[in-house]
Amino acid sequence: MRKQHLVFLFMALVAMMSSLNLNRVGHSSEKPTLENKVHFTYGPLGPDRPAQFVIGEWITATLKISGISLDDDGNTNISVKVEVRNSDDRLVGQLPIGRVKNRLPLGGGVFTQSFTLPATTGFAHGTYHLIVVTTDHISGDTNTIDVPFALFPPDAFAVSKLYLASDTNGTNPVGACFSAGETVFLHASISGFETNEGKHKIESKLTVLDDKGSAIGPSIVHPVIENSNSRYSDADPNAKYPLSYHLLLNRPGRYILKCNVKDVLGQNTVSHQLLIRVIDEM
Q: Residue ranges of the domains in the chain? A: 35-152, 158-279
Architecture, CATH, for domain 35-152: Sandwich (2.60)
Q: Where are the beta strands (DSSP E) in 87-219?
A: 91-100, 111-118, 126-136, 142-152, 158-165, 177-179, 183-191, 199-210
Mean predicted confidence (pLDDT) in 208-224: 92
- For 9, phi then psi, to 5°, come to -65, -40
Q: Does the global pTM surpass 0.85?
A: no
How far is Cα 59 from Cα 61, in angstroms, rounded to an integer? 7
Mean predicted confidence (pLDDT) in 114-142: 92
Residue in 43, 279, 42 with CA at minimum distance from that of residue 182: 279
Instruction: Specify which residues 261 forms β-bridges with.
Output: 204, 270
Top-confidence residue, 207 or 22:
207
Least confident of 141-145, 192-196, 212-216: 192-196
- Check residue 238 and give its pLDDT: 60
Domains 35-152 and 158-279 belong to one CATH topology: yes
Query: Is the domain defined by 158-279 classed in CATH 2.60.40.3880?
Result: yes
Torsion of CA 158, 161, 164, 166, to 10 degrees: -130
How far is Cα 259 from Cα 266, in angstroms, rounded to an integer? 18
